[in-house]
Chains A and B, each alone.
Chain A
């Protein structure tokens, strides 16, 4: 009976890589509007954990979406950045989703969310040291071994720094990509949020970031608070439109990197489908504009 629960694979219907197309978070409340509109040019991204149940409407919805669109499977809870061993049962569920839905993109976070037996349901930060680097690389090796393909690792948004950190976030991320062969998911809103919160230049960060490893970009909205000293503190809330500053940074990155799949994330206070669709169209317009420049660069490099 071991094979009884093995899901049937959904065959690939899109040539990989999917290139410079814009996508959106998939929210089940948008399913009727999406299906009514028929197949669209964009891709959809889902949080893997929402589809780890045995059956029911979530899988039916995901199959309907996956039939006509490329899918991005975005893991949120693998706790890759945590000190304890990966949860093998969770990794097996993740692998099973990759096998079943054959997503065009597979990603996870440079963060942790589980400690001992408690799951905190947040993307928690880690110090950047030689020890944590080895630990993260071991975990990524394990994930990539399980899913038999490269993972895209997302840069975090953070509100604090660890006193013990001995390297910069960009050096840390570059070393991960070099040691594990993983790709990177560059979340430009996260860069902007962290840069504001810690008082560094987002452009400098992007200048240090290994853009050649970037296989996906995230754009999202953020909220504003302040810290104990009255400094602006940005919260990675995913509950509104992409900020103007983040659009500007995206244009710069897209011109340098060339077109890559770009997602507009919206996870809370979810708007009607046309509003999310319009955000993706704005991202697509920037991707389309940068195509000639990127091609020129490629020829130049060749």
Chain B
């Protein structure tokens, strides 16, 4: 064992980086030993601004909806409360949708947190492991009497976000530079996020579709998933839904689970 050495410099330097109420650390200096002052503030600014920029990159639709000033003020509070714990910035911000839901000044936009959840899922799908999606012909080859026992393997990019609001319509209108239009936010919409090859796709699931897809993605059989979906919505149509999920690239393979 080598002797203990004094490496307390980081403990002295770090705490004030995200806390403007703390004093500039005395361990560092400017020219001629003068207090570091604005020089230390360069680091504070780099840290805070770069992390706000990271959130803005992950949540472009949220920023477009709120406007830049609102977004940056909101993001600043979150960055100071919950800095990243991973050096991979594309993993940052999983707590941001929950923060938005609690953020006092966003209460007039109750759907904003769900828009953020879809954007976070969008980036997870973007970076997910590459995998070839299930070919539709594979399902066609299954004997009809065995369909109910069929189990699907989730594609690494596939995710569902459920919303009591029109989150899918809102996000579709705000992820590009199309002119803003008035949207009725009150219709519940569930989103399926997939990336069958390289392009992330956000789809609006039909009634019962989110329950159905969630059951299948968690490994339940086709029969179980269809029963749950019918419980959730009498309008549920199994043929449309399974074809839609396969076309979207939600799965990579099929098997017969324990029974197979």
Contact residue among A55, A119, A132 (Cβ-Cβ distance under 8 Å from B127) = A55
Interface residue? A225 (CB, 8 A):
yes
Interface residue? A30 (CB, 8 A):
no
Chain A's closest residue to B35 (CB) is A228
- Judge whether B5 and A113 touch: CB under 8 Å: no
Interface residue? A277 (CB, 8 A):
no
* Chain A contacts for B85, CB-based, 8 A: 117-119
Interface residue? A178 (CB, 8 A):
no
Contact (A159, B127) CB under 8 Å given A119-B85, A121-B54, A132-B9: no
Stretch of A212-220, A229-237, A244-252 contacting B (4+ beta carbons < 8 Å): A229-237
- Judge whether B28 and A160 touch: CB under 8 Å: yes
Residues of A in contact with B (beta carbons under 8 Å apart)? 5, 49-50, 52-60, 76-77, 79, 82-84, 87, 90, 112-122, 124-127, 131-132, 134-135, 159-164, 197-199, 225-229, 231, 233, 235
- Judge whether A90 and B87 touch: CB under 8 Å: yes
What's the nearest-Cβ distance from chain A to residue B48, in Å?
10
What's the nearest-Cβ distance from chain A to residue B182, in Å?
32
Chain A's closest residue to B9 (CB) is A127
Contact residue among A52, A56, A125 (Cβ-Cβ distance under 8 Å from B128) = A56
Q: A159 vs B44: C-alpha distance in the bound complex, in angstroms?
A: 12
- Judge whether B130 and A55 touch: CB under 8 Å: yes
8 A-B Cβ contacts within 8 A? A56-B195, A83-B8, A121-B47, A121-B89, A122-B46, A131-B6, A160-B40, A233-B38
Stretch of B10-18, B96-104, B231-239, B246-254 contacting A (4+ beta carbons < 8 Å): B10-18
* Chain B contacts for A79, CB-based, 8 A: 87
Chain B's closest residue to A135 (CB) is B7
* Chain A contacts for B31, CB-based, 8 A: 198-199, 227, 229, 231
- Judge whether A163 and B28 touch: CB under 8 Å: yes
Q: A235 vs B49: C-alpha distance in the bound complex, in angstroms?
A: 14
Q: A229 vs B54: C-alpha distance in the bound complex, in angstroms?
A: 32
* Chain B contacts for A124, CB-based, 8 A: 10, 13-14, 43
* Chain A contacts for B130, CB-based, 8 A: 54-56, 59
- Judge whether B10 and A82 touch: CB under 8 Å: yes
* Chain A contacts for B157, CB-based, 8 A: 56
Contact residue among B5, B9, B18, B89 (Cβ-Cβ distance under 8 Å from A162) = B9
Chain B's closest residue to A119 (CB) is B84
- Judge whether B29 and A160 touch: CB under 8 Å: yes
Q: A5 vs B129: C-alpha distance in the bound complex, in angstroms?
A: 9
Contact (A225, B87) CB under 8 Å given A120-B47, A163-B27: no
* B residues 155-180 touching A (CB-CB < 8 Å): 156-157
Q: A53 vs B131: C-alpha distance in the bound complex, in angstroms?
A: 14
